[in-house]
Amino acid sequence: MKFIRVLLLLTSGLLAATSAAAIAGPEVASTTESKKKAGPITRIDPTFWWVGMKNPKLQLLVYGPKIGASKVSLKYDGVTLDGTQKLENPNYLLVNLTISANTKPGKLPLEFQGERKIKYEYELRARSTEAGRVQGVTSADFVYLLMPDRFANGDPKNDVVKGTMVNRVSRDSMYARHGGDLKGIEDHFDYLKELGVTAIWPTPIVENDMPKASYHGYALTDYYAVDPRYGTNEDYVNFVRNAHRNGLKVIHDVVLNHMGSKNYLYLDQPAKDWFHQWPTFTRGNYRDGTVNDPYASAEDRKLFNTTWFDTTMPDPAQENPLVATYLIQNFLWWVEYTGLDGYRIDTYPYSEPGFLMKWGKAIQDEYPQLGMFGETWVQAAEGVAQQAYWSRNAFPAVNGFKSNLNGVTDFMLYYAIQDALNKEAGWSEGISKIYYTLQSDWLYENPNRNVVFLDNHDLSRIFSVLGEDVSKQKMALTWLLTCRGIPQLYYGTEILMKNFSNPDGLVRADFPGGFPGDNVNKFTAAGRTAPEQEVFTLVSKLANYRKAHPALHSGKLMHYIPEDGVYTYFRYNDKGETIMVMMNANKQDKTVAGGRFAERLTGFTSATNVVSGATIPDLKTLRIPAQTAWVLELKR
């Protein structure tokens, strides 16, 4: 159910304090540190900026005791002060700048004149000139989703950070910190490369200093800081750089819709109109269909877009242009600062629709190559059209909203693969569900930009959903790596990690071998059981084969209506490369006449089974074993 995620997030607890994580350099101090120093300026967001950005405008949010009463002046070649803006809270002041194209990097001297004169050197950096630094994410990639806290502990020294609300590690609790970090991921780059992974998607790495369930990262408490339990900001920059050196891209998980209740922006709000305010906590209806429902009431729409996602997750008022600019600048900042390759946008439909269009345009104008896809947890009954509404699609604008997002997490295909492997075949049921879901791809501008998956950190693991049937697991993984779109694998699926999402959160268990004292190490073949190794080998072989064969990741797709529980489809390109995939969901072997597929088989006389290496000498009659998926490279 859609509310599984909400149930998990409800465990995230009550309130937390902003941590003492600091960003390197003199330009910013954390909230905790500023209280100790009692300095006149606590921080400025963005913490630094760059010359040469396509948009020359910069909005600085200055925070400090009674700073709002100050007059501001500056002298710097190429930088114009467009004015300041007081906010309801006297501890904030907005400083608006224009940075011309010929401005040189350096220290911008800002002078604040209030009760006393304050001088602040704001850093303007040179943009990176590294070619291809931001690589993007495409259907040629194979994405590995992991939770940093649960994957591997590479640096035990950062397990407990003084000043944070959760200052202990308790691996016996699924809602406590376990100690995983960026170094732990980096230590296993070789494992990911062996598996055939090309892109890493960690759940949010930004500071999440909340008292309960802070490990998941979706209640951020500082937009500009990496959580110190994962490493420093500079560690993250180096992480992205080292990933690129190893042929791995990095996808940054971002939250637009909400923040943690201990974010300094909420603890000391710039103004009441920076957040959606309710007399008491008001839970939303979680119904994204209200946005484009032509008959929806204004009340239902309000209860979707302006309510808090959870009790500890305040809802920024993104229709406020000052809030919108703050958020847009932050997500431009992370790309330029780190060189990351893509954004996964959490709870994408929950944000204010007009803001989503503005945010998407601003990011893509500056970084057109950046990969972006949104979480669109649309229920099966809502259908493909509702999911397609949230990406670039074939529809006209509805209620003023026309999505400019490249792709979405393809929940419709997630439901379809489960139906295919767990239900009897029928006209539109069972394995036919995949066919009819893909048949609706005409609704998207480009369905190949959608992310296809079997499970994730909010969902029951696919191995459990399939009744811990290894044959079905292998079929699901074969489909994942041969279907259209960008395949995403949840950590541990390749070694048969199991469990259901409700009620104990065990789908977020530690990767065995990633932590000191683990009894087994599944990062090595020696630590895996025979079935685990069998599945790992399948993923590795198919993923690496996919990487080397463009027809499988970027080619065209032609499929045939399933017959007798067998679904057949082809991936092919103009260079003559053709891959044939057959899925037999039946409990019995099936014989299939190849003549039906003459449109694609003409000119080919035999095939090689990509996984087993066996030769299929005759394509006229194909006998496929029960509950098996074949990937056949056709030969002339």
> Which residues are tagged catalytic?
346, 375
How far is Cα of residue 347 from the mean position of the Cα atoms in its chain?
Answer: 10
CA distance linking residue 394 with residue 411, whole number of Å: 19
Which pair of tokens denotes residue 588? 């019995």
Beta bridge partners of 79: 99
Q: Are strands 342-346 and 249-255 parallel, antiparallel or unpaired?
A: parallel
Whole-angstrom Cα Rg for the chain: 26
Residues, the chain, total? Answer: 636
Sign of CA dihedral 376, 510, 167, 503: positive
At 314, the amino acid letter reads P
Sign of CA dihedral 203, 205, 209, 211: positive
- Secondary element (H or E) of residue 10: helix 3-10
Give 242-247 contacts, CB < 8 A, sequence gap 24+: 242/186, 242/189, 243/186, 243/189, 243/200, 244/133, 244/135, 244/339, 246/189, 246/193, 247/193, 247/198
Contact (CB, 8 A) for 137 and 145 = no
Contact (CB, 8 A) for 350 and 301 = no
CB atoms within 10 A of CB 162: 9
- Secondary element (H or E) of residue 623: strand 621-624
CA distance linking residue 56 with residue 79, whole number of Å: 9
